[in-house]
Structures are given as structure tokens and as C-alpha cells.
Amino acid sequence: MNKFRFIFIGFMLTFMSSWVGLVLLPIWGLGNFEQVPDPETGEMIPPVFSSLEREGHRVYIANGCIYCHSQQVHPARVRSDIERGWGERRTVPRDYMNQETVQMGTMRTGPDLSNIGVRNPSETWHLLHLYNPQITSKGSNMPPFKFLFETRKKDPEKPAANALNFPKGFGPGKDFEVTPSHEMLALVAYLQSLKLSSYEIPEAPAARVDSLAK
Amino acid sequence: MSSENALKPDAAAIEESRLQRLEIDRAARWPVGIFLGSSLFWLLLGSALAIAASIKLHDPEFLAENAWLTFGRVRPAHLNIVVYGWLSTAGIGIGLWILSRLCRAPIRDHRSLTLAAVLWNMGNAVGTWGILRGDSTAVEWLEYPTYAAPFLLVCFAFVTLEAVGLIRRRPPGHIYISQWYIMAAFFWFPALYFTAHGLLILAPVQAPAQPPINWWFAHNVLGLWFTPIGLGAVYYLIPKIIGRPIHSYYLSIIGFWSLAFFYAWNGMHHLIGGPFPAWLITASVVASIMMFIPVITVAINHHFTMVGHFKKTIYSPTLRFVVFGAMCYTLASFQGSSMAIRSLNGITHFTHYTIAHAHLGVYGFATMVFFGSIYYIMPRLLEREWPSRFLIRIHFWSCALGFIGYWSFLSWGGVLQGIELNQKDTPFLEIVALTMPYLKLRTISGSLMTLGHVAFAISFCWMIIRHRASDGEPTLFTKRVPDPAPIHE
């Protein structure tokens, strides 16, 4: 058993070294952020999610949006994110502090969503896009999320107030109406709240970000 | 077991050896058999989900009516099934069998281990159902909801306990390199899973700290779980089949320690460019380049052992799969090290190129080595031979050619995608359009790979039902053996 004891100690030590460097130190350095006051308005940023937005975050997670969409804006010297209009500055760790399970992502089959709430604030756009991406984005390979909507026969006396208005060629037909489910409304609220790098915070002041940009 | 006799075996020593191997294989029959057999079920299910996910990326309306089959659930279900259902299950079976053989000690607790195998499968079933119904954690490589974890952890407790029992009963003297790798893997995996599940899902740390832990975990599933089991298998099977020892003991030790240290630090290369301190990313970039040391060491060792014996891949299925796999290990690792260089990463990050690379490791290397291992182990567990040479040929060629297609088409599409992603004037939907032909070619290639898996599963079931009696000879690719070197048991 003697020699094996040394092999065991050795491979557990190498393992623990990585645990210290890549788990413990990140928890210490990146795991204790607090909000800071906005220099102009005084409100605490980044803002905490509302309960509807938190529900939407969970819908995002349950349906695996992360597998096509990232939520991290890279600096201009690395990638063209800022030039594409995906954010005014790169995202920094504090921007994510209020998310339950961070959804930074590793694939860009679809665009980055860090600041989608700034870029596409319209609820109508999101509802149409999520119902059938081809409506707003022809040729997209994003799946339709019709199962997060309710389709029923339209009652001409009492049409639903928030029924979707489809352009020609889309939708279930004039005898039916489609309304978003509660989960869909929560998801859209979450997307509208995504403005990760649109705040100015101490470690990412606008002036310094500009000088790093090129 | 006297080591002098092993060097100059006489008839009595050979017979004693053979009886010991028989005892070991018989004790391993149920536990290892269930791990290996059930792994094939998950391979088939994982392949079906893979094809569905692949089709959805070029035909998004495919099977899109139901929430359970939306791409965002099918894709993580595929990943978790092939990682925990196919590769991990086969890895446990292969690791335990090789360990048992090398320790010259039969598995003692076969009832608990058989139960553990059932628990492992239940964990995978529950986890998969959880992802499809909407309970995915969306933590990459850890998507099984918490209620699946106890099954996996209890099973693994039994596995590690048995492994410790085996290593303690080994004969005095030299510990072979495969035993180092397999024992390390059996400790590293539960440590990784337990830590990551705790810190990311059960009691999550604050969001900005989650990605480092996530990718420390996910990369180490590759580097500290699949790689050591795979290398342990290659180091065992090549010498066994060609009848020659490994080229260099010292190289194998250097390879082990450099892998143990450097691989564990690689994880942050998945986060290059992201919101993290520069030292954290750079540490992983350095570790990723340092991986050339263990990888070149292992490549030299395997190559110089095989030199003069490559012709044996003409007739030995195990050897052919294992050598293909070992070569893919070298290629995947070199490619991985290159992708950690920030300038190249600028093109490949976030693209399909990364997916192709991942498959070079988990499929080209781990899956193909595990296929070879199962071809070697099952006849020894069941005391009968594979029923059909033809099915083995279909298996090898469909998987090898299918995978070469998969990797080539998807990598090329990924490079084009990455280049255009960095051109601010290229509209995003144009980038989607340019990837379409490559995504379709990936579906075709993946379907060919799946055909190979189906052939393998048919072989496996046929062998168990013992539909065709064997003539007592091993089922090789060709009946004519090129040179007279014996195939060792």
C-alpha cells in the first residue's frame, strides 16, 4: 500500500491546487459583489430583478436559451461585439451579480443578449419573434416557442386584449387568436431587463472604456 | 503471484495465470456487464437526440411543437446522456475491469456493484426526464437536476470503494501506469461532481464566480475523468494485443504527473475574452500550452510501442479502434492547446468549431477507445465471441468515416462563422445562412456515426442471446493473421 499512498497524495495535491486557483480564489474575488449607487440618479446598480423578471430568468433556463445565446460583451480589441451594437462597453463581473444562475453562454448561434433590453425594448417584437422567429428574422434557425402561447378560437364579441397581431402569411388564421402565457410574459420581461453593460460603474467608467476600445 | 515465474513462465504458471484471469472475469461478469450493456442503451438514445438536435439547427420547425422536444432541452439532454449515460457508464465498467485484472484481484462486492450500476442508470433516466420536462439547471455539463444527483453519487461511492479494495489487494511490487490513471480518475470524478454540484446548484455562489467553477468542472470531466480512463485503457490494451511492453516506463510517469497538474488548470480557456481577471484566464492559457508535455510524452510512448506492429490493426478490431482513438487524443489535444491562444480563440470562440473540437475529444478519442475496450472485454466476460465480422466492419467504418466527416465539415463551417462574426458589417442572419450547408453535412455525418452504433448494439445483443455459436476463435477482421505473434489473453 506504501507506494500507492504517495501516488494518491500526489494526485490529490495536484487536484487541490486547481481547486484553490480556479474555485476558491474566484469565490473570494468574484463572489462578494455589492450594488453601488448610480452617480447620477442615486439608484442602486446593477438593479435587482423583479419577481416577474426572476420567473422569466427561470423560463430562459428551462428552455435552454443559453445553448445558442451568450450574455457577455467582449472588449473591442478582442471581438467586434461593441461595433455590432451589442453593448456600449464590455461586461464586467459586477454586472451579473443579481442573476441566480449566470447564463454567460459559450455559443453564438444567435446574437449576444447582454443588452437586448436596450437594443430591442419592444414587447411586441419579442412576442412575435418568440412565437415564430421567421416573422421578425427570416432565415433564422431559432426554434418557434408556440408552446409558450395559448391559441384558441376567437370570440368575435370578446377578443382578447393582448392577442398577437400577425403580419400576412403568419399566425393560425383569422378565426383564431393567440395570447402569451404567463411564462412567456415573464420571459419577455426578463429579456427587457437585460441591460448588463448599460450602467456606469466604478470599474467600468465610460471614459476609461473608450480608451481601451481601440 | 511470483514475479520470477511471470518472466519465464512454465506450464504450471501459465495455467495458474489463466485460472486467475477466469476467476477475475467471472466475478466481473454482472457488474461490468451491466455497466457496459447499459452504456450502449444510452449511446443509442444519445445518438437519436443528437440527430434531432442537429436537424433542428438547419430545420428549426422539426419537432418544435412540444416543449419537451425544444432544441434548448434536446441539446443538453444529448450532452448529459452521452457524458453520464454512455461515456461515464462505459468508463466505470472498463476502469473496474482493467483495475481488477491488473490488481490480480477479483471484484469482491459484485452484488453491491450490480445494484450501483442500476442506480447509475436510474440517475441518468431521472436526470434526462428532468431536463426534458424543464428542470434543467442550465449549468453546462451539469444539467441534470439535483434530484438525479443522489443516484449518481451513491453509485460512485460503491465504485470508488471497490476500486480501493482492489488496489489494496494487489500483489506487491510495481504498480502499472493504467492502475495510476484509473485510480486517480475514480477519485477525481466524484470530487469534481460533488464540489461543482454543491457550489453551482445546491448552494450557488454569487453569479460572477459561477463560470470559473463551471468550466473547472466541465473541462476536468474531460481531462481528469475520460482522459485517464481512456489512457489507462490504451496503455493496457496495446501491449496486451501486440505482445510487447510499453516503450518507456519513465515517459509514462512524466505523462501522468504533467497531466495531473496541468490539465486541472485548463478550464478557464473556455472563458477567454469574458468578464474575468486577466491572471485567471492567463493561468489556463499557460496550462493549456503546457499540455504539450503530457500529450507528446504519451504520443511518443504509444507510437514507439506500436512501431512495427501497425499491421495488426488489419485484423484486430480492438487494436484498430484503440489506435484510432489514441491518435485522435493527440490531435484533439494539440488542437485544444492551439485554441487557447488568444488570437486563434478570437476566431473560434462561440462557434461550431468548438463543438467539432469537443467531439474530437469525446468521440474521436474517448468513444473510439471505449468501443475497442468493449470489444476486448465482453468475450472475456461472456466466454464467447462476437457473432459477426461484418457487423464489426460496419461499426468501425461508419463511425470512423462518419466522424471524419463530422469533424471536417463542422470545423470548416465554424471557422467561416467565426471570421464573419468579427466583421461588424456582416448582418447576423447572413452568418446563420452561411453555416447552413455545414450544419446539414453534420447531420448526414452524424447519421452515419449512428448507423455504426446500431450495428454495435445489434452485435452486443446478438452475442448475449448467443444466437450464433462461435468456433472458439476470436472474431477478427480477417481470418488470415499477418504474423505469428500470439494474441494474449
Nearest to A141 by CA among B114, B436, B28: B436
Q: How confident is the model at residue B482 (pLDDT cuts 50, 70, 90)?
A: low
Name all domains of chain B by residue range, CATH numbers in brackets. 25-465 (1.20.210.10)
Mean pLDDT for the stretch of residues B52-64: 97
**Cell 460503491 -> residue:** B158
- Report the residue from A61, A65, A139 with minimal CB separation from B432: A139
* Cβ–Cβ below 8 Å for B67 and A148: yes
Q: What is the pLDDT of residue B485?
A: 53
Indicate the range of B7-21, B29-43, B366-380 predicted with least confidence: B7-21
Q: What is the pLDDT of residue A207?
A: 46
Q: What is the pLDDT of residue B486?
A: 55
Q: What integer best gives the mean pLDDT of chain B?
A: 94
Q: Using the 8-state DSSP alphabet, how is residue B306 labeled?
A: H
**CA end-to-end span of chain B:** 17
Q: What's the maximum distance between 2 C-alpha atoms anywhere in chain B?
A: 78
The pLDDT tens digits of the residues spanning B314-339 come to 999 999 999 999 999 999 999 999 99
Q: How far B473 CA sits from the closest chain A CA (Å)?
A: 38
Q: What is the pLDDT of residue B6?
A: 54
Is the pLDDT confidence value at B54 over 90? yes
**Cell 520470477 -> residue:** B4
Instruction: Write down the pTM of the prediction.
Output: 0.95
The pLDDT tens digits of the residues spanning B139-184 come to 999 999 999 999 999 999 999 999 999 999 999 988 999 999 999 9
Cβ of residue B479 closer than 8 Å to a chain A Cβ: no
Cβ of residue A61 closer than 8 Å to a chain B Cβ: yes
Cβ of residue A213 closer than 8 Å to a chain B Cβ: no
ipTM of the predicted structure? Answer: 0.94
Residues 354-383 of B with CB under 8 A from A: 354-355
* Cβ–Cβ below 8 Å for A144 and B204: no
Cβ of residue B135 closer than 8 Å to a chain A Cβ: yes
* Cβ–Cβ below 8 Å for B140 and A66: yes
Q: How far A178 CA sits from the closest chain B CA (Å)?
A: 15
For chain B, percent of residues with pLDDT exceeding 90: 91
Q: What is the pLDDT of residue B488?
A: 54
Q: How confident is the model at residue B312 (pLDDT cuts 50, 70, 90)?
A: very high
Q: How far apart are CA B187 and CA B355, in angstroms?
A: 28
* Cβ–Cβ below 8 Å for B421 and A65: no
Cβ of residue A99 closer than 8 Å to a chain B Cβ: yes
Mean pLDDT for the stretch of residues B277-287: 97
Q: How confident is the model at residue B1 (pLDDT cuts 50, 70, 90)?
A: very low
Cβ of residue A107 closer than 8 Å to a chain B Cβ: yes
For every residue of B147-191, DSSP letters joined together read GGHHHHHHHHHHHHHHHHHHHHTSPSSPPPHHHHHHHHHHHHHHH
Q: How far apart are CA B325 and CA B73, in angstroms?
A: 30
Q: What is the pLDDT of residue A203?
A: 85
Is the pLDDT confidence value at B403 over 70? yes
Q: What is the pLDDT of residue B7?
A: 60
Residues in chain A closer than 8 A to B57 (CB atoms): 109, 141
The pLDDT tens digits of the residues spanning B245-258 come to 999 999 999 999 99
Q: How far B53 CA sits from the closest chain A CA (Å)?
A: 11
User: Within 13 Å of residue A25, how many CA atoms lie on the same side as its CB?
Assistant: 16
Mean pLDDT for the stretch of residues B199-228: 97
Is the pLDDT confidence value at B204 over 90? yes
Mean pLDDT, chain A cut into blocks of 10 residues (214 residues total): 87 97 97 91 92 98 98 94 94 96 97 97 97 97 97 90 93 93 98 94 66 43
User: Within 13 Å of residue B481, how many CA atoms lie on the same side as its CB?
Assistant: 12
Based on the number of CB atoms within 10 Å of its own CB, is B193 exposed (0-12), middle (13-18) or buried (19 or more)?
buried
Q: What is the pLDDT of residue B487?
A: 52
Q: How confident is the model at residue B475 (pLDDT cuts 50, 70, 90)?
A: confident
* Cβ–Cβ below 8 Å for A101 and B199: no
